[in-house]
Amino acid sequence: MDLKQIQKTIDWALKNIWVDKISKDYKSFYLLKEDTLKNALYYHLRNELASLFDQHNLRIYTEFHHGGFKADLAIVKLNDDPGNNDHLKDDIENVLAIIELKYKSCSTMKFFEEDVVKIKNYIDATPSATTQYYLAFIHEAEYEYIEDDSWLTLEQQVWAKDRLTELSGHYIDGKMKWTVLSYNGMNKNYRWEYRFTKDELTQAASFFNEKKYSHEFYNHFLGVVSREKEVTQELRDAVRYLMYWKLGKVSSKQQPTSEVVVVEGNTYYVSGTTTQNRLAIEKSLVEDLLEMGLKFRNQEITYEQFKDEVDSITGTSIVLPAFYIHIWQPADFPILDIKVWRTYKWNKGEVVLKHTKPTSWRHYEEYISFFNGLVADVDKEWRDCDKGLWMLGEKLKVGI
């Protein structure tokens, strides 16, 4: 990850923390004057970006000397081997972000306006630096509602371009409003409404069990399904193998009764499953249903029309029918199983129990909306998101 991408990740976290976490801290009476605001922001940044900080040697410092002034908070990058100089400040390679905070209930504006000038002085003192600057202001005063109301004059907005973001908290009609006004052009869709961070999702995905659920095997036969023009033996085999893959019955180790499948020079072994699952797979390979699958893939029939037919695969679970939907339009219809469903329910703040599992098309449709929104927010491949959610579900503590 290059420096610009690191800054973009920090920027996203700061904006989201402001409107989500700091607003909740304020509502819960955790904030009293400026120092508690500084402590809260420090705390949330450390928690939200822990893996990013460790991976790239980033640190947060308070009362940081920068450009001849003392900044409230600074996020910096240390060199690869800090601690060998006379002072830790000599190990700082880059100052990635400077945050100035104010928390006042007074009617005067001058304290806030002084911090705007202070940021301008930073920029003037280090004109070639790539540092991003943030004004984090809580003003316990009643404001009129004005679209994009800013602490900056039009002239100040010129030098703020590409460098500055305003984070603001104030009252409108008796209710505290938390806003972000960004001149830096980063993360327009910054809201993150999940109980896990992007880093945690990515890290979880890296531990996914590729031996049991081979991506190469899955991707190969998904490609066959996407290419075949009509119901062929190749299409029938691809659907069958994908169903076995979903059931965790594809392995790189041979079993006594395994079917051998060679994919791009690699050998896989497809083993048996329960009588009930075998019956479901047989139903999924019926000619009429495969033809409907092709029509659904080609968007000649709707999801509503297709699911009514797919429902016949099994009457005991929604997981295999949902997967059958998935294999024909994988980018729009995610894989559903107990683990990702538990992650979804946990993310909503619900208690996850042993019997927590999806049981209906309505559940699947809930999950589709959640999953596709997550893919857009994370800006990663949908398969990576699926792996991450699966592993988060694997680690969840489940109640009785």
Structure tokens that stand for 71 in this block: 């900044």
Q: How many CB atoms lie within 10 A of CB 263?
A: 16
pLDDT in tens, the chain (400 residues): 788 889 988 998 899 899 888 999 999 999 998 999 999 999 999 988 888 898 899 999 999 988 788 999 999 999 988 888 888 888 899 999 999 999 988 777 888 989 999 999 998 888 778 899 999 999 988 887 666 678 888 889 899 999 999 999 988 888 888 989 999 988 876 777 788 888 889 999 999 988 889 999 999 999 999 999 999 999 999 999 999 999 999 988 887 788 999 998 999 999 888 899 999 999 999 999 999 999 999 999 999 999 999 998 988 889 999 999 999 999 999 999 999 999 999 998 888 998 999 999 999 999 999 999 899 888 789 999 999 999 999 999 887 7
3-state secondary structure of 93: strand
The count of other CB atoms within 10 Å of the CB of residue 92 is 19
Q: The tokens 């003037």 sit on which residue? A: 124
In whole angstroms, what is the distance from residue 124 CA to residue 131 CA?
Answer: 12
In SS3 terms, 155-168 reads as HHHHHHCCCEEEEE
Contacting residues for 100 by C-beta, under 8 A, at least 6 apart: 71, 72, 115, 118, 119, 133, 134, 135, 136
At position 43, the amino acid (one-letter code) is: Y
Contact 19, 178 (CB under 8 A): yes
Query: What does the pLDDT read at residue 147?
Result: 64
Q: How far apart are CA 395 and CA 386, in angstroms?
A: 15
Kindly report the number of other CB atoms within 10 A of residue 174's CB atom: 6
**Residue matched to tokens 């997967």:** 323
SS3 labels along 72-92: EEEEEEECCCCCCCCCHHHHE
Radius of gyration for the alpha carbons in the chain, expressed in angstroms and rounded: 27
- In whole angstroms, give the CA distance from residue 18 to residue 35: 16
Helix-helix angle 287-297:233-246, to 10 degrees: 90
In degrees, rounded to 5, the angle at the alpha carbon of residue 91 between the alpha carbons of residues 89 and 97 is: 70
Q: Which of 352, 355, 316, 339 is nearest to 389 (CA)?
A: 339
Other Cβ atoms less than 10 A from the Cβ of 385: the count is 22
